Homo-oligomer: A and B are copies of this chain.
């Protein structure tokens, strides 16, 4: 069994890593850290893990992370860039679930994240951990930047169109919707159930950090200059992201379903759905799948893509485990074969 470490285990991505790795046949969490909860039993903080996880949160300064084969950073932005270098030097592979290594353009990163980067040299080395575009590079990577949740849903929904140059890349609209777990587990009056239950709203309309990540990823993957307008919305539910994507088609008479189906025919975690079936977030809840439907409504020259993921799985911890599987030479689907929980 590979020895796995998790830095920052009390948030939702950390606990979701624990859930997924509890059933993994070839990897085992041997160290988990939490500065605030050091000394507490994991199963006391996260009752769904009672009887399944016997670890105690350790202080990150003293934890034997360097003895792990691979360490996940499930920490706020700005943490992994401080601590990953030492682990990499010690020969540990690293997957950062935060944003520290997602954007190659340092000045863009620093503007959106509001801090200087502590490890600029590693930004170049890091591989963007979307297996559907970077599978081979991920296998070889020391350091993987796990993609953001919205960028995963949006990028997978646009890739086939951009790779085949089927759309005007400068006029893309991405209307994103996320359950509230995407905002994390911080005390925040704005995310109380009494504030966000039974209501719906857009947020960060003026600009969201995931927009430059999407634009850079799509440009690098397709060599097209991309101008994308992204507006995220908050849905009164816990898990799930849906992105509805709009773009102008360059040509009529394209079998859009076939374009997508062929692009993803060998992808274990992308399911292209015939347009007459529903694509709903609950159909992927708890699973690592991205489900996509595509059509040109009313033949008006605009393609509409629906893309759904579980923001904590394919949008975070599941994709991180998928990356780990690739990095450590396991089967890509190991530990990721749970069926979605629906209803």
List the interface of chain A (C-beta within 8 A of B): 12, 15, 18-19, 22-23, 44, 46-52, 171, 173, 175, 177, 179-181, 183, 185-189, 191-203, 205-207, 211, 227, 229, 231, 233, 235-240, 242, 244, 246, 248, 271, 273, 275, 277-287, 291, 293, 295, 297-298, 300, 302, 304, 306, 308, 312, 337-343
Q: How far is the CA of A279 from the CA of B204 in the complex (A)?
A: 12
Interchain residue pairs A-B with the least CB separation, the first 3: A201-B280, A199-B282, A48-B340
Q: Contact between A237 and B236 (Cβ–Cβ < 8 Å)?
A: yes
List residues of chain B with CB within 8 A of the CB of A236: 193, 197, 235-237
Q: Contact between B189 and A185 (Cβ–Cβ < 8 Å)?
A: yes
List residues of chain B with CB within 8 A of the CB of A342: 15, 46-48, 199
Contact of A206 with B238 at beta-carbon distance under 8 Å, contacts A192-B180, A284-B48, A343-B195 already known: no
Q: How far is the CA of A15 from the CA of B195 in the complex (A)?
A: 13
List residues of chain B with CB within 8 A of the CB of A206: 275, 295, 297-298
As for how many copies of this chain the complex holds, the number is: 4
Contact of A237 with B200 at beta-carbon distance under 8 Å, contacts A12-B194, A206-B295 already known: yes
List residues of chain B with CB within 8 A of the CB of A295: 205-206
Q: How far is the CA of A201 from the CA of B185 in the complex (A)?
A: 19
Interface centre among A52, A197, A227 (most CB of B within 10 A): A197
Q: Which of B195, B229, B283, B298 sits near A185, CB closer than 8 Å?
A: B195
Q: Which of B175, B194, B273 sits near A238, CB closer than 8 Å?
A: B194
List residues of chain B with CB within 8 A of the CB of A46: 342
